Amino acid sequence: MIRKTLKKTSKHEKLRSFIKKYNIPPEYLSTNRKMVSKAVLIGLFIAFIPMPMQMLAVLGVVPFLKFNVPIALAMCWLSNPFTMPPMYYIEYLTGSFILGTEIAPVEMTLDWFSENFDDIFIPLYFGTLIFSTLGSLGGYWLVNHFWKGSVHRDKKLHPHQR
């Protein structure tokens, strides 16, 4: 269903005139399986990284890789002010557990972070590497899996039902 909606939206006349007016490369708004799955991969990978301005990081990757930019930007919104604290805390706990470091009692204050930044940096980013890699690869696989399943189901329908 999402696949069909994306296909309809990409063929909309207003979108085509917008692309033409601002000279946007069409592959940045392409809605085929490869472009969408790459967008999910890149967007989720960056969403798990604790850094400011994640959307600018996605835009920084655009010249090197071709993917659907709006979908990648939307995937960055997975980490928002409500989800960031639990995401980063779980990443820190995971990194600390795997590295075998002592887990510091966490307080959600800027003073605590500035005082303990050196102690939590390596476990946090090690956990981030694990979650970014597994989360983005899982998202990539899920998009491919469901997209192919959707195409397969549509092909099974009779031509008059398509």
Specify the pLDDT at position 11.
64
Specify the pLDDT at position 130.
97
List % helix, strand, coil for the chain (3-state, nearest 5). 70, 0, 30
Compute the distance between CA of residue 23 and CA of residue 26 in angstroms, rounded to an integer.
9
- Residue 6's pLDDT band, with cuts at 50, 70 and 90, is low
Task: Measure the CA angle with vertex 138, ends 103 and 34; round to 5°.
Answer: 140
Compute the distance between CA of residue 102 and CA of residue 99 in angstroms, rounded to an integer.
9
Which are the contacts of 96, defined by CB distance < 8 A and separation ≥ 6?
A: 102, 103, 123, 127
Compute the distance between CA of residue 117 and CA of residue 111 in angstroms, rounded to an integer.
10
- Residue 85's pLDDT band, with cuts at 50, 70 and 90, is confident
What six digits make up the tokens of 43? 């967007």
One-letter amino acid for residue 149 of the chain: G
The average confidence (pLDDT) of the chain is 86
| Closest to 107 (Cα-Cα) out of 117, 98, 99 | 117
Specify the pLDDT at position 7.
63
* pLDDT exceeds cutoff 80 at 61: yes
- Residue 158's pLDDT band, with cuts at 50, 70 and 90, is low
Mean pLDDT to the nearest integer, 133-152: 93
Specify the pLDDT at position 146.
92
Specify the pLDDT at position 124.
92
